[in-house]
Amino acid sequence: MKNILVTGGLGFIGSHTVVSLHEAGYNPIILDNLSNTRIDVLGGLEKLMGKKPVFFQGDVNDAAVYDQIVSQTGPIHAVIHFAAFKAVGESVEQPLKYYHNNVQGLITLMLAMERLSVKNMVFSSSCTVYGEPDQVPVSEETPTKPAASPYGVTKQMGETILKDCTWLQTQCLRYFNPIGAHPSGLIGELPLGVPSNLIPYLTQSVAGLRPPLTVHGGDYPTPDGTCIRDYIHVCDLADAHVASLNRLLGNKQQDHFEVFNIGTGTGQSVLEVLHGFEAATGEKPSYQVGPRRPGDVVAVWADAGKASSVLGWQARRSLSEMLRDAWNWQRKHS
């Protein structure tokens, strides 16, 4: 069984990917400092995997942790690097926190990989690198735009650093908007404090834990005036990592740095999501339309053709499944 180090493996996308890796016959090794998740995620993973996951509590910026891991697990065949902060607003207020964790952490990890001769990496990037695109859908050839926040800069810098390091084989996955939860309700998203992302706020609000949702802007140049995003089920996203890893470890890469958009290829407006939520769950969300949120792009969705033709991966789950699973998780969790 191949050892795959999963940094941030107890986070939202990381934990779902750990399950997909296990199901695909890989041996995931989790490194997480618990800064944005909870230790109970291990219990959910144990139920889903039928065994205790291999877990190291530690920080990506701690160079010694990698030697400690390898001394206990044996060689690492690849790293999937999720461990990063992702709150756009916070990154504006505390940029150094983001540069230290997301950029310095990546460099510390890469230095350890070089030292330990680990040559394969799957990197979590984001559609945020496209900024406000001139045309949609965006393909991997669409030029990136200056980032609107330090968070976005850290993703662009991460891509640049990985591209410059030609000794490393990198699969760079640009995620669109991951939502939903494992259909079992055993793992899901655990936002700390008031969620700023749409779906965790929506489910907490419908559960009565938050005031009604504010739709950020109803006067955008879109059919219903609200922003459009490409929402993707987190389990589909997790499966994309397995497809990517299969290509990496099967030595099928054509270039040391390959980029893939990971989305469904369709966009939904905020109002479509709210109506879809009611149709999927029978629960009617309360909301009001408020002013635009600074930094939001109007519309972005993926051309996911490259992932389909090259990785043989495409999203399978519908918006209705995403919303049903997000609500199921919220109910079980609260």
Binding site for ligand UD1 (CB under 6 A): 86, 88, 126, 128, 177, 196-198, 201, 213-216, 227, 229, 270, 293, 295-297
Indicate the residue among 189 and 258 with the shorter CB distance to ligand UD1: 189
Q: Smallest distance, Å, CB 86 to ligand UD1? A: 4
**For 276, phi and psi rounded to 5 degrees?**
-65, -35
Indicate the residue among 46 and 321 with the shorter CB distance to ligand UD1: 321
Contact 258, 309 (CB under 8 A): no
DSSP string, 248-292: HHTT--SSSEEEEEES-S--EEHHHHHHHHHHHHSPPPPEEEEPP
Contact 269, 222 (CB under 8 A): yes
Contact 229, 276 (CB under 8 A): no
Indicate the residue among 172 and 198 with the shorter CB distance to ligand UD1: 198
What burial letters (b/e) apply to 185-215, b meaning 16+ CB within 10 Å? bbbbbbbeeebebbbbbbbbbbeeeeeebeb
Contact 127, 142 (CB under 8 A): no
Determine whether 327 is exposed, middle or buried from the number of CB atoms within 10 Å of its CB (0-12, 13-18, 19+): buried
Contact 48, 187 (CB under 8 A): yes
Indicate the residue among 222 and 253 with the shorter CB distance to ligand UD1: 222
Indicate the residue among 43 and 95 with the shorter CB distance to ligand UD1: 95
The span from the CA of 296 to the CA of 302, in Å, is 17
Catalytic residue positions? 151
Q: Smallest distance, Å, CB 128 to ligand UD1? A: 3
The number of helix segments (H) and strand segments (E) in the chain equals 12, 13
Q: Identify the three-state secondary structure at position 301.
A: coil
Contact 159, 50 (CB under 8 A): no
Q: Smallest distance, Å, CB 71 to ligand UD1? A: 34
Contact 288, 41 (CB under 8 A): no
Q: Smallest distance, Å, CB 164 to ligand UD1? A: 23
Indicate the residue among 108 and 196 with the shorter CB distance to ligand UD1: 196
The span from the CA of 93 to the CA of 88, in Å, is 9
Q: Smallest distance, Å, CB 263 to ligand UD1? A: 11
